């Protein structure tokens, strides 16, 4: 069970040693039975881990695959038929593949839960228990189980013990803290904010940052709590002349991929997002994170602002934007 700050390299910390073991000890002959399984909570994070695994496995005989919801299942099945040694998956699509008889977990030696606190929270726990306890996966102690996250609340640590045996808790830095490369500047201004004033405050922040021109060197993430709120705020900013796109759970997979591609390239340097973009995503040049709606807990807050200040890059610009109906506004 490993906890380290956002952007510190947790993905490489589990991919490199697992792939190294596969290089040294050979591969399963029954290729549809992966030797390693990495579970991630979102499609975007699963895709990102898969892309990194392809880099580490380049010019080797070890073949990574990825399966996630929202994409064409036939294409994913055909890719699996070419062989799969390391599988990256979201829980729902993995169970679908198991039920269809396309994936077996009999020979899985390494199980990784990335963003483990999220994976064991809310609606994911039932799916994880089925994958780990009720399918054909080797039992606890016969496989190596690794859990990674930047936050690990105590109740989730207690729950995680069900999937581990004689485990080590490894913490790099302070558990639940942010990277030292992120400076959170808060100027205390007491303002009574009515609902209709929220967007004008956001425009003030965007104007200060001069974000009306596309630029790949200065990207801004604006977090909201609801899918409807993401669509509404994107439409508002677009009508105000800002290059903006959005991402949330009701978008199709192609729309989500297009939005991230446009954001990364700087064509739309403002991305309005729900929690689907709060964890794990590694996007260079994110200079500003704006919490238009406050997250429900401190762990989500840590992950949100961790989209900047990654892998040693120092970012100073962060706006902590609390805007409820009648509350204080900290800018």
> Are residues 32 and 166 located together in one domain of the fold?
yes
Domain boundary among 104, 137, 172: 172
Do 245 and 124 share a domain, yes or no?
A: no
DSSP symbols for 208-225: HTT-SS--TTSEEEEE-S
CA proximity to 284, closest of 265, 300, 256 = 265
pLDDT of 22: 80
Per-residue pLDDT tens over the stretch 126-183? 899 899 987 789 998 899 999 988 878 888 788 888 888 888 888 876 655 555 555 5
- Among residues 126, 143, 172, the one where a domain terminates is 172
Given a cut of 80, whether residue 87 has pLDDT beyond it is yes
The share of the chain scoring above pLDDT 90, in percent, equals 31
Phi, psi dihedrals of residue 209, rounded to the nearest 5°: -80, -5
Return the pLDDT at 211. Answer: 64
Overall size of the chain counted in residues: 331
Does residue 112 sit in the same domain as residue 258?
Answer: no
Stretch (H or E) spanning 74? helix 73-81
Kindly state the average pLDDT of the residues 52-69.
Answer: 93
How far, in whole angstroms, is CA 193 from its chain's centroid? 32
Which position has the higher pLDDT, 179 or 43?
43
| Residue range(s) defining the domain that contains residue 90 | 2-172
Average pLDDT of every residue of the chain: 80
Pair 59, 134 in one domain: yes
Model confidence band, residue 316 (pLDDT cutoffs 50, 70, 90): very low
Q: Are residues 161 and 198 in the same domain?
A: no
- Listed in sequence order, the residues at least 6 apart from 145 whose beta carbon sits closer than 8 Å to its beta carbon are 111, 112, 113, 163, 164, 165, 167
Count of structural domains, the chain? 2
The answer on 301 and 152 residing in a single domain is: no
Q: Is the pLDDT of residue 92 over 90?
A: yes
Is residue 318 pLDDT above 50, yes or no?
no
pLDDT score recorded for residue 170: 86
Read off the pTM. 0.66
Q: What does the angle CA 27 – CA 33 – CA 36 come to, to the nearest 5 degrees?
A: 65
Q: Classify 230 in phi/psi space as left (phi over 0), alpha (psi -120 to 50) or beta.
A: alpha
- Could you tell me if 108 and 76 are in contact, meaning their C-beta atoms sit under 8 angstroms apart? no
Q: Quick one: pLDDT at residue 183?
A: 53
* Residue 289 predicted with pLDDT over 90: no
Q: What are phi and psi of 268, to 5 degrees?
A: -125, 90
Q: Do 192 and 275 lie in a common domain?
A: yes
We report the CATH number of the domain holding residue 275 as 3.40.50.300
Mean pLDDT of 86-103: 94
204/296 Cα distance (integer angstroms):
25
Domain identity same for 149 and 255: no
Domain-embedded: residue 181: no
């Amino acid at each position: 069970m490993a906890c380290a700050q956002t952007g510190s390299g947790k993905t490489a910390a589990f991919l490199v040693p697992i792939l190294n073991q596969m290089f040294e000890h050979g591969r399963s002959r029954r290729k549809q039975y992966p030797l390693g399984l990495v579970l991630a909570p979102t499609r975007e994070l699963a895709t990102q881990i898969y892309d990194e695994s392809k880099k580490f496995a380049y010019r080797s005989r070890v073949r990574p695959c990825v399966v996630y919801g929202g994409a064409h299942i036939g294409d994913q099945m055909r890719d699996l038929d070419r062989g799969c040694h390391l599988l990256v998956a979201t829980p729902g699509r993995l169970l679908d593949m198991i039920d269809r008889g396309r994936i077996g977990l009999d020979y899985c030696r390494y199980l990784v839960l990335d963003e483990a606190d999220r994976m064991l929270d809310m609606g994911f726990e039932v799916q994880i228990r089925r994958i780990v306890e009720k399918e054909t996966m080797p039992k606890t102690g016969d496989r190596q189980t690794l859990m990674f996250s930047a936050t690990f609340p105590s109740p989730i640590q207690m729950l995680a013990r069900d999937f581990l045996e004689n485990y080590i808790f490894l913490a790099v830095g302070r558990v639940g803290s942010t990277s030292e490369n992120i400076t959170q500047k808060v100027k205390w201004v007491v303002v009574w904010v009515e609902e209709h004033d929220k967007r004008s405050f956001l425009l003030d922040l965007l104007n200060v940052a001069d974000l009306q021109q596309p630029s790949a060197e200065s990207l801004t993430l604006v977090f909201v709590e609801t899918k409807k709120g993401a669509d509404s705020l994107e439409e508002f900013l677009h009508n105000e002349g800002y290059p903006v796109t959005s991402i949330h759970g009701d978008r199709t997979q192609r729309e989500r991929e297009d939005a991230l591609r446009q954001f990364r390239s700087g064509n739309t340097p403002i991305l309005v997002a729900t929690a689907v973009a709060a964890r794990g995503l590694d996007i260079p040049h994110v200079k500003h994170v704006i919490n238009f709606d406050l997250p429900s807990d401190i762990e989500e807050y840590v992950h949100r602002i961790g989209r900047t200040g990654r892998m040693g890059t120092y970012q100073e610009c962060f706006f902590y934007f609390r805007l409820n109906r009648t509350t204080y506004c900290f800018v």
